[in-house]
Amino acid sequence: MDNQTPRKAYPAIDPYETGRLDVGDGHEIYYEVCGNPRCKPVVFLHGGPGSGASPQHRRLFDPDRYRIILLDQRGCGRSTPLGRLEANTTWHLVDDLERLRTALDVERWVLFGGSWGATLALAYAEAYPAHVLAMILRGVFSGRPSELAWFYESGANRLFPDQWENFLAQVPADEQGDIIGAYRKRLTDPDRAVRAAAAAGWTQWESATVMLRSNAVPNGSRSASDSTIAFARIENHYFYHGLWLDGDQLIANADRLADIPGVIVQGRYDIVTPAITSWQLAQAWPRADYRMVEGAGHAFAEPGVLQELLAATDRFAD
């Protein structure tokens, strides 16, 4: 693949169906379907948690060979209420996927997820393996305490000290021993200005680390849109609660994936979700094809990562 002309994502397309699914607890999730309604269904699980799906995600799949399903998970994107934390856990989202599968009359589908989307894909597949045809995972995050500690305590900060300093700036020194907890306090504050400032700091730290080469510079902004606030609130809420996972349960339960083929795509220099997690998952999941991408970080748009993802979606389309 390295000697070939890099592939581009598939052309932009519009959905032929959109809808809102009442999943209970006062939540409605937005979903859309595009591509070929007669072909293999694939569901795209966005990252975050809290970020939402976007039109560029439709372009990862051949629209002539896939029925492409995208959704915004609880509280984010076009789902409502925006930013709501109540009844918003990993297991609520697993149940939501199962409701959506039933509502769309899908018997079995391919799961595609990166980062938190990979976490959710694993949680769903281990709960409902009979409904999964295959999985394509990128930058695997399994929610273990060690993974959160790497990114929010000591690890990534040693590679991005300038950005880390900006991240810490909004938290008093006596609260810096628990960054996730300190940001939770501010992201749930009744004052929108306080929430916005915290959301700006939270998202700037993450955005500075997702690409191998980044143009991001610490700017100390204290403003944020409603969607950015919702993203930061939901992501922090999940991390504060340990994603409602029991330690390393997603990797420990990988035997439940025994009949599911998959591809794992990992950037060698991924700072957000270091390669050790995806490597350990691959050892526990024999049917996974592990693809390490040299010279790449975390984001799906990294050229080498994108090439492997497109190859994987083409592979499972047949």
**Rounded to 10 degrees, what is the CA torsion of 137, 19, 34, 68?**
20
Q: Is the confidence at residue 4, as pLDDT, over 70? A: no
What's the total number of domains in the chain?
2
In this prediction, residue 44 carries a pLDDT of 98
Do 211 and 81 fall within a single domain? no
- Phi, psi (rounded to 5 degrees) for 281: -65, -45
Task: Work out whether the CA dihedral 68, 257, 280, 47 comes out positive or negative.
Answer: positive
Burial 230-252 (b: 16+ CB within 10 A, else e): bbbbbbbbbbbeebebeebebbe
Look at 185-189, 208-212, 242-246, 262-266 and tell me which has the smallest mean pLDDT: 208-212
Q: 164-196, pLDDT tens digit by residue?
A: 999 999 899 999 999 999 999 999 999 999 999
Domain-embedded: residue 11:
no
Are 176 and 57 part of one and the same domain? no
- Positions marked catalytic: 115, 270, 298
pLDDT for 1 equals 45
Residue 9 is assigned to a structural domain of this protein: no
Q: Give the domain range for residue 150.
A: 145-243
Distance CA 65, CA 141 (A): 29
Classified as helix, coil or strand, 32 is strand
User: Residue 214 domain-assigned?
Assistant: yes
Predicted local confidence at residue 5, as pLDDT: 72
User: Is a pLDDT exceeding 70 seen at residue 105?
Assistant: yes
Q: Is the predicted pLDDT of residue 3 greater than 90, yes or no?
A: no
pLDDT at 244: 98
Q: Model confidence at 218, in pLDDT bands (50, 70, 90)?
A: low
Query: How far apart are the C-alpha atoms of 73 and 235, rounded to whole Å?
Result: 12
Position 318 confidence tier, pLDDT thresholds 50, 70, 90: confident
User: pLDDT value at position 217?
Assistant: 55
Q: What is the pLDDT of residue 211?
A: 85
- Rounded to two decimals, the pTM is 0.96
Residues 96-119 as b/e (b if ≥16 CB within 10 A, e otherwise) read bbeebbeebebeebbbbbbbbbbb
Instruction: Check whether residue 191 and residue 259 sit in a common domain.
Output: no
Q: Mean of the pLDDT values across residues 224-236?
A: 97
Average pLDDT on 245-254 reads 96
Identify whether 5 is part of a domain.
no
Is 96 within 8 Å of 73 (Cβ atoms)?
yes
Same domain, 47 and 127: yes
- The pLDDT tens digits for 109-152 are 999 999 999 999 999 999 999 999 999 999 999 999 999 999 99
Whose tokens are 């492997």? That residue is: 308
User: Using N-to-C axis directions, what is the helix angle for 179-187 and 145-152, rounded to 10°?
Assistant: 80
- pLDDT score at 219: 59
- Chain centroid to CA 215: 22
What is the model's pLDDT at position 220?
A: 59
The answer to the question of residue 167 being in a domain is yes
CATH number at residue 110: 3.40.50.1820
Residues 128 and 257 placed together within one structural domain of the fold: yes
Tens digits of residue pLDDT in 49-86: 999 999 999 999 999 999 999 999 999 999 999 999 99
> What pLDDT sits at residue 138?
98
Q: Let me know whether 176 and 90 are in one domain.
A: no
Residue where a domain terminates, one of 221, 243, 265:
243
Q: Write down the pLDDT at residue 303.
A: 87
70 domain residue, yes or no: yes
What share of the chain in percent tops pLDDT 90?
A: 92
Q: Which of 223, 243, 263 finishes a domain?
A: 243
Residues 225 and 285 in one domain: no
Q: What is the pLDDT of residue 223?
A: 76
> According to DSSP H, which parts of 12-170 are helical?
90-103, 116-127, 145-152, 161-168
The mean pLDDT value of the chain amounts to 95
CB 43 within 8 A of CB 97: yes
